Amino acid sequence: MSVIVISGGRRLEGCVHVQGSKNSVLPILAASLLSGCVSVIHNCPDLSDVAASVAILEHLGCRVVREGDTITVDSSTLDRCDIPEHLMREMRSSVIFLGAVLARTGEARLSMPGGCELGPRPIDLHLWALRRLGAEIAEQGGNLRCSARGLRGCDISLTIPSVGATENAMLAACAAKGRTAIYNAAREPEIVDLQDFLCTCGASVQGAGSSVVVVDGGVPLHTAEHRVISDRICAATWLAAGAAAGGAIEVEGVPREQLLPVTDLLAQAGCGIREEAQRVTLTGDGRLRAVPPVRTAPYPGFPTDAQPPVMAAMTKGTGTTVFVETMFENRYRHTQELARMGADIRVEGRVAVVCGVPALQGARLEAADLRGGAALVVAALAAEGESQIGGLHHLDRGYERLTETLRSLGADIVRV
């Protein structure tokens, strides 16, 4: 079993060009099914979740070739509509293939998705949106049997701005006759990137980035070439690492406005922040001060995925910071491991109270989920002594060449 070994206490200095977005490339790979043509997708990160998506595409009959960070998908050879349970269990985002397969073939058979255990994340809203479009869906024993012989455009009003439900509705609506309007749609940059890819394929989609997305379905699609946006959560993680360990780091490739909730917080905590259009520079001495309560929220609010690494940075500081997690009820599993390092964190339901301590101590740690694993890395970089972190399959889902990236910034880190 592999572990990451970190000798903490070293300042981080240098520049990181941020990888392609995990949360953007996965729905775009699913969307490549719609055209029945060739899709060339650039800036695809080398992640286990991406490999799982490629495996699903290949199982469905597509020809997929990866060269560097470019994935080429030929979906003209698609000849199946089923996804086996072992592939669905690889990642939570596998549910995005439901809308795409249904739109392309008129039927889909798959099981409930897997992924990080962050608490109940029902896909009821996904299924409701597809049913609104005319899909018939039967649920039995954790399996879904779906058919749609005539999807029709309609108004879909989501009860919450779910990213996945918005994406599934967009994909299915591309094959529906007439206009679909998705109200209370998710506004994340990844939704905008999916719209850009669909429009490059010839689809008529507009409004992404606002609360209403409109799709005029039934438009013929064609071959497309697209570059995936950079990963704002990875950028936030590197900034949190710099804040915790101290030093001067630059992250480039992510629009500054996508990072504002994180950079504003770190500036309040005492870090120096310099922002340009596609670059953020952070300087700090590794000693942070408490900030007002941090409440996670859908974009453009504070991202739930950035909460664990930012919390890890705030453990080593002065004063008390309160975190309120509104998205996932089990998003605090990393706090137990941080406590092993000497962090003072008290959790009550969805609220975590972080009392800063003068120093963290290295320890043997185990990642329980993707972003929680990132929190442990951030804390270990700032701690005194050596830390060993296991559960690396979680980190491999979202961070490309993590150890190499941090080593380029001066961290004493190795994977063994």
Pairing relationship of beta strands 364-366 and 386-390 according to DSSP bridges: parallel
User: In angstroms, rounded to a whole number, what is the distance separating the alpha carbons of residues 34 and 218?
Assistant: 11
**DSSP helix, strand, coil percent of the chain (3-state; round to 5):** 35, 30, 35
Judge whether 99 and 132 are in contact, CB under 8 Å.
no
Pull the structure tokens for residue 209. Answer: 């980035």
Please state, in angstroms and rounded to a whole number, the distance separating the CA atoms of residues 329 and 77: 41
3-state secondary structure 89-113: CCCHHHHHHHHHHHHHHCEEEEECC
| Active-site choice (62, 81, 116, 271) | 116
Q: Count the alpha carbons within 13 Å of 71 in the hemisphere toward its beta carbon.
A: 25
Classified as helix, coil or strand, 61 is coil
116 catalytic per annotation: yes
Adjacent-strand bridge partners of 110: 144
71 vs 227: CA distance, rounded Å: 10
- Cα separation, 43 vs 192, in Å, equals 16
What type of residue sits at position 179?
Answer: R
Distance CA 97, CA 77 (A): 16
Number of Cβ within a 10 Å radius of residue 349: 9
> Count of residues for the chain?
416
Contact between 254 and 281 under an 8 Å Cβ cutoff? The reply is no
CB 384 within 8 A of CB 362: yes
DSSP for 125-158?
A: HHHHHHHHTT-EEEEETTEEEEE-SS-B--EEE-
> Do β-strands 143-147 and 178-183 pair in parallel, antiparallel, or remain unpaired?
unpaired
Tell me the catalytic residues: 116
